[in-house]
Amino acid sequence: MRRQWLEYAAMVSVMGVTISCANAEAPAEAPKEIVNAKPAKIDALFDPARHMRTSEVRPGMTGYGISVFTGTKLERFEVEVVSVLKNQMGPQQDVVLIRCKGQNLEHSGAVAGMSGSPIYLRDDQGRDRMIGAFALGWQFAKDPIAGVRPIEEMLRVATAKQPDDAVLGAQAGTSGTAGTWDARPMFRKLKSADEPIPVAGKKDLNPLTIRPLALPLSISGVKPGFVESIAPLLAGTNLQLLQAAAAGDAPEEGKDAKLEPGAAIGIPVVSGDLSLAAIGTVTEVLGDRVYAFGHAFNTEGAVELPMGVGYIHSVIASQAISFKIGSVVRTDGTIYSDESTAVAGTIGKSPQMIPIAITVRTPQRAEPQTYNYQVAKHRMFTPMGSSIAIVSAILGHSMVPPEFTIKYTLKMQFGDDQVVQMQNQTTSLAGAMEFGRDMQLPMMLALENPFVRTYPTRITGEVEVIPTIDAATVRAAVTDKLVYKPGETVRITLTTRPWKGEDQTHAFTVNLPADLPDGPVTITIGDAQRFAADQMRFAPNLFQTQNVGDVFDMIRQVTADRTDQVYIRLSTAVEGIAVGRTRLAHLPESKKRLLTHSPKVDVATFPQSIVSKHAFPSSLIGSVDLAITVSEHPNRVPQQRGNVAAPVAPGKTPPPQQQPQQQNAPHAEEP
């Protein structure tokens, strides 16, 4: 079943840094007969000689944990059981509360990245048996107290490849029937400029609540300021974004390390000229089965993510949260399950990642430079990782000027020979991350539609950075008159102001249809943002999809809109109707009433409109609305000299226009 990630954001932790124990007393070897990752019952994997159940745990029991605090060396710290918290994390999900000692934990407290460190307790027979994973704690805790996720719960997590979930079917939260998906709610959210598209939706978790320990998300290949700029993407998760060295910087001796209980484990989201990887700790290895973290990465259920051996550069003690700085030495397998109690997978081949190649041109360098990345396939981290990689290429090529324009072309290839090509520009008025948002939109729609989850197979593009702001804001607009006959030409004069320039005027003409009925007509002259917002009201049929082919048709339509165009829309009070993606023109009123009397979910009504697109010399910002009247007998309608309107604030949609101003009524004069 597909997990609704936003609902569980408070319990999500994404990868932690692994810690392992060198020269520590080794626990019993894994049973030799366990050599594959086929699904198995808990009783088949739980070894009473190796593992301990929570029912055997009593306060005062002592033992040790294993983790890595420097390099790949497995090191030991001491633990004592404080208590057993029954049903603490949910029904039949107990937590063993421990106090830790050694490895400077009395000073640092629980360290982000220790998630998954195996904990062993000594039983009455003097045997050291694994009780579970160091995994839970409290924010701002002063003492080295942590919660242990029982190993008996972790072993229930599947380590084999899960059934293919590409065909998702109708999902809760989507509009329409199982055969029709209305993409407008998602499109509206993705186009919102209020905040970045986050990985999670919840923020400000209660610091008094026990929860999964933070997982360090190490990033390299970017400037320090870039880390702060992408931090909002991770709001509401347990990810701790840190700047760290790349895998190649790990010493040679670290490259011989293997995945074993207590070893560092990493999940690389992005690799190449930028590295973005979560680092945690291995809890248990049984044959080629690997269990880690003791909590979720993303609570996604079935996944296919690369995993590999981690290297710890250092532990940083902090009053807010102590953490490990780590990187991935090499990939060595696949994570197949991401559950609330553990991530689990198989040692061996790692999944194929998505290649990205971006060529960047800047005024500071004579020659363009190409950056190459590989991004993991994941419903949230593929869009986020891709946009971070491409934006980092722009910002990493050279210092971006305080005022800039980014012009770009992108080609995204998806499965089933679907291709999306984008050509657009943005400026420093919106910021470089606006480019990242534009890039995420087609991927999010391709991944989150209810038909087929389609990942990119390759992304290529070219980006040019210009050291000026190539943009103009809308100042005003005017028509040559107020009343027109059907079939006449409307002459519009648009006044704009270039960035740090003087007002300029631009002339446009729009031909009224010869069969346009008498009545009021609203003329909207605006930018791409206003046009996209209006499309959901005036052209709802474009967002009605019945298969993945419709989804990609919609993606290509919405990504074809450019900021360096003027969009002119004529809208009337005449109501149109669409069934699914089919727009029914000139439908008799009797049939309209029949369809709308007991409408199905894929029947939509909307104000009819006509759109024309016009090239503009720079990015346009803002919009303006005018009102005219269409009449077969214009002499019978009071005339005025002109029709002028002030602009609408960017991103705002004004209320519907009223009737045109009548003669002698107060109105704005021509500029």
Q: What is the pLDDT of residues 127-142, one digit of tens each?
A: 999 999 999 987 667 7
User: What share of the chain in percent tops pLDDT 70?
Assistant: 75
Residue 365: band (very low, low, confident or very high) from pLDDT cuts 50, 70, 90:
confident
Cα separation of 436 and 441, whole Å?
A: 9
Q: Please, what is the end-to-end C-alpha distance for the chain in angstroms?
A: 61
Distance CA 427, CA 402 (A): 10
Q: pLDDT of 266-301, one tens digit each?
A: 999 999 998 899 999 999 999 999 999 999 998 888
Q: Are 323 and 137 in contact (CB under 8 A)?
A: no
Burial class (CB in 10 A: 0-12, 13-18, 19+), 92: exposed
Q: Which is more confident, 234 or 533?
A: 533
Would the pLDDT of 600 be above 70?
no
Model pLDDT, residue 589: 59
The whole-angstrom separation of Cα 495 and Cα 472 is: 10
Of the candidates 400, 391, 389, 623, which has an alpha carbon nearest to the alpha carbon of residue 494? 623
CA distance 3 to 642: 57
Please tell me the distance from the alpha carbon of residue 296 to that of residue 94, in angstroms, as a whole number.
Answer: 16
Does the structure show a pLDDT above 80 at 35? no
Pick the range with the lowest mean pLDDT from 228-242, 327-341, 386-400, 550-564: 228-242
Closest CA to 512 of 495, 492, 527: 492
589-615: average pLDDT = 71
Output the pLDDT for position 395.
77
Torsion angle of C-alpha atoms 647, 653, 655, 660, degrees rounded to 10: 40
Give the C-alpha distances (Å, rounded to integers) separating 332 from 176, 262, 474: 43, 16, 55
Which residues make beta-bridge pairs with 331? 308
Tell me how far CA of residue 400 lies from CA of 385, 403, 467, in angstroms: 21, 8, 8
If you average pLDDT over each of 73-77, 271-275, 324-328, 630-634, which comes out highest?
73-77
d(CA 335, CA 462): 33
CA dist., res. 421 & res. 414, Å (int): 11
In this structure, what DSSP letter does residue 273 have? S
- Give residue 90's pLDDT: 64
Tokens of 320: 């807010």
Q: Residue 494 forms beta bridges with which residues?
A: 477, 506
8 A C-beta contact, residue 126 and residue 63: no
Confidence class for position 213, pLDDT limits 50, 70, 90? confident
Q: Considering only 73-77, 435-439, 520-524, which range has the smallest mean pLDDT?
A: 435-439
Q: What digits encode the pLDDT tens for the residues 97-119?
A: 999 999 999 888 888 899 999 99
Per-residue pLDDT tens digits for 350-360: 999 999 999 99
Give 5's pLDDT tier (boundaries 50, 70, 90): very low
Furthest CA-CA distance within the chain: 106
Measured distance CA(47)–CA(289) in Å, rounded: 14
Phi, psi of 94 (to 5 degrees): -85, 165
Is there a contact between 605 and 576 (Cβ–Cβ < 8 Å)? Answer: yes
> Within a 10 A sphere around the Cβ of 513, how many other Cβ atoms?
12
Measured between alpha carbons, how far is 93 from 114 in angstroms, rounded to an integer? 20
Residue 476 binned pLDDT confidence (cut-offs 50, 70, 90): very high
pLDDT at 40 over 70: no
Higher pLDDT, 295 or 232: 295
Structure tokens at 313: 């550069």
DSSP string over 512-580: PPTTPPSEEEEEEEE-HHHHHHHHHHH-GGGGEESSHHHHHHHHHHHHT--TTEEEEEEEEEEEEEEET
- For residue 586, the model assigns a pLDDT of 62
Give residue 614's pLDDT band: very low, low, confident or very high (50, 70, 90). Answer: very high
- Residue 292's alpha-carbon distances to 58, 71, 88, 99, 359, in angstroms, are 25, 18, 20, 21, 38
pLDDT at 20 over 70: no
pLDDT at 249 > cutoff 70: no
Residues 445 and 190: beta-carbon distance below 8 Å = yes
Residue 221: φ, ψ to 5°: 90, 15
Read off the pLDDT band of 504 (50, 70, 90): very high
pLDDT of 639-658, one tens digit each?
555 565 666 655 555 544 43
Contact by Cβ (8 Å): 165, 2: yes
What's the pLDDT tens digit per position in 372-422? 999 999 988 999 899 888 888 887 666 778 899 999 999 999 988 899 999
